[in-house]
Amino acid sequence: MVLALHPEWQEMAREEVLQVCGQNEPNFEALTHLKIAAALFSQVNMILNEVLRLYPPVISLCQHTYKDTGIGNIHLPAGVDLALPMLLIHHDPEPWEPVLAKKFAMLEAKMALAMILQNFEFNLSPSYIHAPPTVMILQPQHGAQIIIHQL
């Protein structure tokens, strides 16, 4: 959905995937070479990190203190309920530069995205309405209607 919103990102990532992998199925070795010279992350990594920053799968975390707890200089007595609004925290790009993600999950996501970009171009349907609701898990309220074209 985000690549359909930003076709320039889609094209840059596709060019990188085709340059590194050609039409061959991406493998671990190829995925480790998905990087533009002098860039810390590849286009594919940057796209995945930006999507996770803007649309984290979990929008908030809740924690209950069962005993007196200290976090830095902050003292929290027992019985306090804490809410950490991930959706708000993630919209600040500063902590994401650089970011260390869960390696296996990111490898799987890169593999899937590379294979999709090798074979398809996608655009948002004119009927798409951007309305991500803020419930426990972030998801498109009205679905994500995408038009897919085989290359």
pLDDT tens per residue, the chain (151 residues)? 788 888 888 888 888 888 888 888 888 778 777 664 224 346 777 777 777 777 777 777 788 889 998 888 989 999 999 888 877 777 766 665 555 546 666 777 788 888 888 999 989 899 888 877 666 666 777 778 889 999 9
Q: Residue 48: its pLDDT value, please? A: 78
**What distance, in Å, lies between the first and last C-alpha atoms of the chain?**
18
Q: Residue 41: its pLDDT value, please? A: 45
Region class of 138: left (phi > 0), else alpha (psi between -120 and 50), else beta: beta
Element housing 28 (H / E)? helix 28-32
Region class of 37: left (phi > 0), else alpha (psi between -120 and 50), else beta: beta
Q: Residue 37: its pLDDT value, please? A: 29
Q: How far is C-alpha 133 from the chain's CA centre? A: 17
The β-bridge relationship of strands 146-150 and 81-84 is unpaired
**Residue 56 near residue 90 (C-beta atoms within 8 A):** yes
Q: Residue 120: its pLDDT value, please? A: 93
Q: Residue 78: its pLDDT value, please? A: 93
Q: Residue 98: its pLDDT value, please? A: 52
Q: How far apart are CA 68 and CA 106, in angstroms?
A: 37
Q: How far apart are CA 141 and CA 78, in angstroms?
A: 37
pTM of the model: 0.57
Q: Residue 40: its pLDDT value, please? A: 35
Half-sphere exposure for 50 (CA within 13 Å, toward CB): 14
DSSP designation for 58: B
